[in-house]
Amino acid sequence: MQITKPQIDDFKTDRKDIMHPLPVILRLVPLLFYCSIGVTLILGSIFFIQSRIAEANKNAHIEQTASLTSQTEETLKERTALEAKIKKANDVQAWVSSSRPIQPLLVDIARSIGPKSSILDLRLERVPESPAQIKLALRLATDSTKQLDLTLESINRMNFRTFSPVQALGHGELDYRATLVRQELREKAETP
């Protein structure tokens, strides 16, 4: 027995108007098409990953900016508080420096008070228009004016002169008010 070869019918007609097959170089077009699809998928996935990384970096920078802004605000508040303390300290320093010329006067007034008398109130105010003048308000717990005379003598020894003194004595208290002018400053102001 003889085995017959399978017969394959060729439905292709031999027509003369059919074009020739593509040249070999153009057979690369489908290969390039599939490669471009693959490259597009790879680049798309890289773009997607990079966009996620960029978004995470953006959120991290926003959080960092917010934290730095809050730190800056806290630093500004601390700086404002520190500047207020510095200003207060400078005011105290200026007050102490400006009160140095009258500190010996206060010491002499306090030392002139005898054992039977005491100072109830003592106020010294500078006149801004005339720094050589000091307004004195003194209230003593005493029954006589001898203590006031001793205090005025110690004030005169400090080269202060009293103007427009007013005193009142009653109920065991002596109230004295006057304007003190430093003699040296007054003489220097009159000489030019």
* Residue 53: domain span: 26-99
Burial letters for 54-83: b for 16+ Cβ neighbours within 10 Å, e otherwise?
eeeeeeeeeeeeeeeeeeeeeeeeeeeeee
**Whole-model pTM?**
0.48
Alpha-carbon distance of 119 to 140, in angstroms, equals 5
87 or 183, higher pLDDT = 87
Average pLDDT, the chain: 84
134 & 184 share domain: yes
> Tokens in use for 56?
């995470």
In a domain, 5, yes or no: no
117 & 185 share domain: yes
Q: In what order do the strands lie in the sheet with 160-170?
A: 118-126, 133-141, 173-182, 160-170
If residue 155 lies in a helix (H) or strand (E), which one and from where to where? helix 146-157
Q: What is the pLDDT of residue 184?
A: 67
When pLDDT is averaged across residues 90-98 and rounded to a whole number, the result is 84
59 & 86 share domain: yes
In a domain, 10, yes or no: no
In a domain, 81, yes or no: yes
119 & 163 share domain: yes
93 & 129 share domain: no
Percent of the chain with pLDDT over 70: 88
In a domain, 36, yes or no: yes
Domain limit, last residue, from 39, 72, 99: 99
In a domain, 66, yes or no: yes
Measured between its terminal Cα atoms, the distance across the chain in Å is 157
Number of compact structural domains in the chain: 2
Alpha-carbon distance of 4 to 24, in angstroms, equals 37
Residue range 136-176, pLDDT digits in tens: 898 888 877 788 888 888 888 888 888 888 888 888 888 88
86 & 33 share domain: yes
Read off the amino acid at residue 107: V
Domain limit, last residue, from 99, 125, 149: 99
pLDDT of 97 strictly over 60:
yes
Phi, psi at 133, each rounded to 5°: -100, 140
In a domain, 86, yes or no: yes
Radius of gyration of the chain (CA): 53
In a domain, 13, yes or no: no
Q: What is the pLDDT of residue 94?
A: 85
Alpha-carbon distance of 152 to 135, in angstroms, equals 14
51 & 86 share domain: yes
Domain limit, last residue, from 58, 75, 99: 99
Angle at 40 between CA 36 and CA 42, to 5 degrees: 115
Q: What is the pLDDT of residue 186?
A: 46
